[in-house]
Amino acid sequence: MRGNRTGKRLRAGGADRWPVAEGELRLLSAWEVLQARREGALLAQDGRERALCDNACLLARALERRGRPVYEDGQQVLSSLRVEDVDRLAQVWDQFNRARNPAPWQSEEALDEAKKGWSTRLTSAFNGVCSACSALFPRRNAPGG
């Protein structure tokens, strides 16, 4: 067993690691993910850069070779890898994390469908306590109707 950046003990291999060409991806604690997001926010100069910077900072924490981090920080990841490589590794880590930490109440497919439904609901702002608004502004089903 060995420690990670937060001092927690990890098993030397197995369920907490996923092999990739660049080394091994390891699962991160919630605190490490939060730290990666904060570091990403500092690196990003505008909203379009945020996802790339967040992923680079996450990989700086998750990617290891022989039990040691491959990169010091997110900036080194951005300097060393192509955008496509950062994206690919971040997707692999996301799939690995979902496989090891599934939602307790439903499958991944059901969760994705629920997210899709939530994001496409047009009248959700006019439900419940805002129903007076829907009376003032009735929904139109066709142009001009």
14 belongs to a structural domain:
yes
Strand 23-26 versus strand 63-65 pairing type:
antiparallel
Q: Residue 62 sits in which domain range? A: 2-101
Query: Is 83 inside any structural domain?
Result: yes
Token pair of 63, please?
């990617």
pLDDT one-digit tens code per residue, 43-95: 999 999 999 999 999 999 999 999 999 999 999 999 999 999 999 999 999 99
- Within a domain: 135: no
The pLDDT assigned to 117 comes to 65
* Confidence (pTM): 0.64
Is 79 a domain residue? yes
Note whether residue 116 is domain-resident: no
- Overall domain count for the chain: 1
Structural domain includes residue 17? yes
Residue 37 has pLDDT above 90, yes or no: yes
Say which residue, 12 or 145, is predicted with more confidence. 145
DSSP structural state of residue 77: H
Give the pair of three-digit tokens for residue 25: 């991806």
DSSP state of 84: H
Residue 111 belongs to some domain of the structure: no
Q: State the burial class of residue 36 (Cβ atoms within 10 Å of its Cβ: 0-12, 13-18, 19+).
A: buried
Task: With respect to residue 96, please indicate whether it lies within any of the assigned structural domains.
Answer: yes
d(CA 17, CA 23): 10
